[in-house]
Structures are given as structure tokens and as C-alpha cells.
Amino acid sequence: MDAQTVIQSVLHFNLVLIITVLQGDELFFLKGRVRISKRAEKSIYNGLFLIYYLASLYLFVYAPSIILFLLLFFAFIWAIRLNNNKTFDYHTYVSNL
């Protein structure tokens, strides 16, 4: 695995991470203004979880290394915790970052 592929994979993962965090912030601001049902909120969390899962799978296949594996492991655990939240609490969300 050459260095360019590893760097490209890390950049892709960071892009997915940024998009996911922005989506979470957007959900927080929307919830303050618009009524979001529990079902829609659960669907959004499942979407965030799916994004992390696909990014983890991509990096594990295309850029295997122990550091990336640990990064993905903790991101995966965080995504599971985020997915299991029953209500969206912004302070808990930020502390889980």
C-alpha cells in the first residue's frame, strides 16, 4: 500500500466525518425550530450510523493499518452510541466527539 493511497483514504474518511458532524448539528438546529418525530429522528441516526459503517469498511479494505483500525474502532463505537440515543441532546453529542 503506497503512501498516496493511505493519505487519500484518510482524507476521504475525514470528509465523511465532517459531513456527518455537520448533519448532526443541522439536526440539532432543526429540532429547535421544527418538530421532528421520533421515527424521523431514528432514521437520521441510522443514516449517520450507515455513513460511519461504509467509511470504516472503505478504509479497512483500502488502507489497512493499526492506527486507522483504532481510529475506525472508536468512530464505530461512537456511531453506535449516537445511534442508540433515544433523544438528541446536543451536550451529550459534543461530549461524545
> Could you tell me the residue ranges of all domains in the chain?
3-96
State how far the Cα of 39 lies from the Cα of 53, in Å rounded to an integer: 21
pLDDT tens, residue by residue, 31-83? 555 565 667 666 766 776 677 667 767 766 766 666 666 676 676 666 666 65
Cα-based angle 48, 23, 71 (whole degrees, multiple of 5): 55
Q: H or E element: which one contains 2?
A: none
pLDDT tens, residue by residue, 65-77? 666 666 766 766 6
State how far the Cα of 71 lies from the Cα of 37, in Å rounded to an integer: 32
State yes or no: pLDDT of 91 exceeds 70: no
State yes or no: pLDDT of 5 exceeds 70: yes
